[in-house]
Structure 1
Amino acid sequence: EPAQIALSSIPSALQLLDLPPDDEEVLTIFRNAALGWANHDGASPNDMLAVTQNDWRAVCTILLDPAGEAGSNSPRTESPAGDSEYQDDDVQMQSDDEADSDYEPGALPTKSPRRVSGKRHTRASRLPSDELSGEDSDEYEYGSPKGSSKPRALTARQKATCREAFAMFFPDAIDSKENLDNRRIMLTDIQGVAKLLGEKLKAEEMLEMLEVFSTSPDKSMGLQDFERMMVAAKLA
């Protein structure tokens, strides 16, 4: 029997590929593929339907090409202050350098503190507001690496959804519960899935995702980290 992906896990898989997980047109395509191969009459619930691996690849090949073009044209997140702030940084840094060249023996140089570079502003703008303020939101409460005082347990349905999506990274561990629990998603695993589906993801984007949710020094993501990511993204 060919490998299959549960229809209920499709939104999670799309989210991992940076595709919209709630696009009705996309979900309808996958549902039609599941109904066509499974010979259902359309009345069965989604959790009883599955999409074959061949159908998954075929549909994603069609979706990823326009998505990649649109993504390349989308504006990048900018600092709220705009380009003028970066220009101010350059002027300020140039003034500091000129002040250094005017140093004379016996005189203490006075330097104005340099402002934070625009690159740091751009990086900070990508982070959730709760992370910038140093406070955990409810979405990050479960399994938080900061040790939330009110851990929230996942329901059986949420755990099952997260496990199905996590198992997609390790096809050889799907039938082994113990083996899957000990697996960790590395950067190479994300790159492998992206390459398999023909998706071009930047290493910076993949590293940022791992850094936000990983609790391991090597930035790998275990099953609990993955569950926390799914809850934060409202996919479970």
Structure 2
Amino acid sequence: MIDLIESFLPLQISRRIPFAPADGLEYEDEEDLRLFSMQPIEDSQFDSRLRYVNGTKFRPPLFRFAWPIDDAHMLKIILAKFPDAIKTTSRPFKGPLPNPVPEEYQQLFEYPDNPRPETEIGYLDLTLPSRDLVHALAKHIDLPRKYVHLVRWVPLCDKDAEGMFGLQVGTNYHHRTSWEWIEKLKAVLEIDEDPMWYLDQERLYWRRVIPLPEDVPSNSYFHDEDGL
């Protein structure tokens, strides 16, 4: 019930707070592009006010500490290092994958040692988000258990709000994997870039948590220029 009520409340948040609505009160539909254009953010530049802390008046947008990674690159890594994590689907045609590959089959792939090549074929849409792949990555580098739950395949958006996918290693609602293990993941994944903070595609707004309307001075956001 509180979530329903809070969605109708003006935020009354300082307009200087990162990713706040332009007027400090309510988000307009056209603001999504403005918000996405402000990210991704390097870890050293990530504003501490965007980190979620229990008991605060406002809940920040969700940010994912992640790398965008091309499907083709991930497939190369999986085939070379994690073949046991491959997930399959029923083969939709007889014989090998056509060349060139039709658009509707872009997520399908042939792979060596397929135990049922006549009836099944590798499927990226199942393999990439699989926890088996995460556990294979974690086992490969002995990633501590406290970080394993942070690693997952997630949707991301670039500055133009164009969708893509990547590997998450932290969020502003929890914590991020330490740099020691990020460097080990970079080596395994054969990527040079550091992960960055990406705004979530759905939870991209500040939300009021408490208090309810009768407890909020109508001009409170003008008195909060330097913090929440």
Do these two structures clear the TM 0.5 threshold for a shared fold by scoring above it?
Answer: no
Range into which the TM-score falls when normalised by the shorter chain: under 0.3
TM-score, normalised relative to structure 2? 0.23
Task: Looking at secondary structure, tell me which structure has more strand per residue.
Answer: 2
Task: Looking at secondary structure, tell me which structure has more helix per residue.
Answer: 1
Name the larger-Rg structure.
1
- Work out which structure has the larger RCO, using CA pairs closer than 8 Å and 6 or more positions apart in sequence: 2
